[in-house]
Amino acid sequence: MTASAIVLLVVAALIVWGGLLASITFLTTHPEVSELSDDEDPDST
């Protein structure tokens, strides 16, 4: 492998794993709301 191919491989791996770590960090600090109250339910009539 050439040096440029290795550099691109490392950059791509950092982008993928960095995005994964960023999303895990965001979801642990801002958990998804599992239940909505009746006031916030968009399907209620």
Confidence of residue 42 (pLDDT cuts 50, 70, 90): low
Q: What's the whole-number mean pLDDT along residues 19-43?
A: 79
- Residue 2, Cβ density class (10 Å: 0-12 exposed, 13-18 middle, ≥19 buried): exposed
In this prediction, residues 12-20 reach a mean pLDDT of 98
> What is residue 32's predicted lDDT score, i.e. its pLDDT?
77
Output 8 or 43, whichever has higher pLDDT. 8
Q: Across residues 11-39, what is the average pLDDT?
A: 87
Residue 41 has what pLDDT? 56
Q: What is the pLDDT of residue 25?
A: 95
